[in-house]
A = this chain, B = another copy of it.
Amino acid sequence: MIKIVIIGSGNVALHLIHAFTKSKEIEVSQVFSRRKEAIFPLLDSSKITDNFNDLVEADLYIISVSDDAISKVSSQLPFENHLVVHTSGSVPMNSLDDKNRKGIFYPLQTFTKGKEVDFKPIPICLESENESDFDLLEKVAKSISNSAFKSDKKQRKALHIAAVFVNNFVNEMYRIGNEICDENKIPFEILKPLILETVNKVMTLSPKEAQTGPAKRNDQQTIEAHLDFLSNENHTTIYKILTQSIQNNGKEL
């Protein structure tokens, strides 16, 4: 059994605890949290501590707190030369305190509070300061996921940015679609089959091949009619820039 201590009780921490407690190869030895009540249903309360000095011995310490708290938490750990990783896509590995061996355990997913997530398909990006620590990280990742990915610093940053595009920015397109529906007394529901099919397409086609619509067709008349119709300046700006992006990059096909 690989012994793990998880530090944190945010969204990612809770989902990790949930996944690890179901794994046969992993023992969640302890969780550090100032909010016992958040963890309690997942773990026996004797295994929850809010005192760094009470942390037990483990093979791996996973710090899963907000980005700006990672550095401070890592320096508060009362031991040395243990394997300590964080779960952030954007914080550098060397933000972790030098007194321990460093690594990254970054699950590439958007977690919703209270919504169970199947970890199996979720890619987990792994980095380790010492090559000898990588095997353990990989074992831990594979105990909950089918997809462990050895990344480097640059790749993890690139992935985090790509994730912003395909998650946050996609969601912003949905929000604007919803806003346009609301303004015109159309239920947002009506867009959902199209939203689903748009995703289905890129599961088998590349996004470039999957593209359709007025920008791709260079249908200037429709584009101008749309811009005429839009009264919200934010919508107009985004419409123009993304139309241009499609038109410029479609050419490379």
Residues on A facing B (Cβ under 8 Å) = 67-68, 90, 108-110, 112, 115, 117, 121-123, 147, 149, 151, 154-155, 157-181, 183-186, 188, 190-199, 201-203, 205-208, 210-216, 219, 221-222, 225-226, 229-230, 234-235, 237-239, 241-242, 245-246, 248-249
**Beyond A108-B193, A110-B194, A229-B158, is A208–B239 a contact (Cβ under 8 Å)?**
no
Chain B residues lying within 8 Å of A245, measured Cβ to Cβ, are 172, 176, 234, 238
Contact: A67 with B122, CB < 8 Å? no
Q: What is the count of identical protomers in the complex?
A: 2
Q: Are A201 and B158 in contact (CB under 8 A)?
A: no
Contact of A195 among B166, B186, B206 (CB under 8 A): B166
Residue of B nearest to A234 (CB): B245
**Cα A226 to Cα B177 with chains together (Å):** 26
Q: Are B169 and A242 in contact (CB under 8 A)?
A: yes
Contact A110 B212 (CB under 8 A): yes
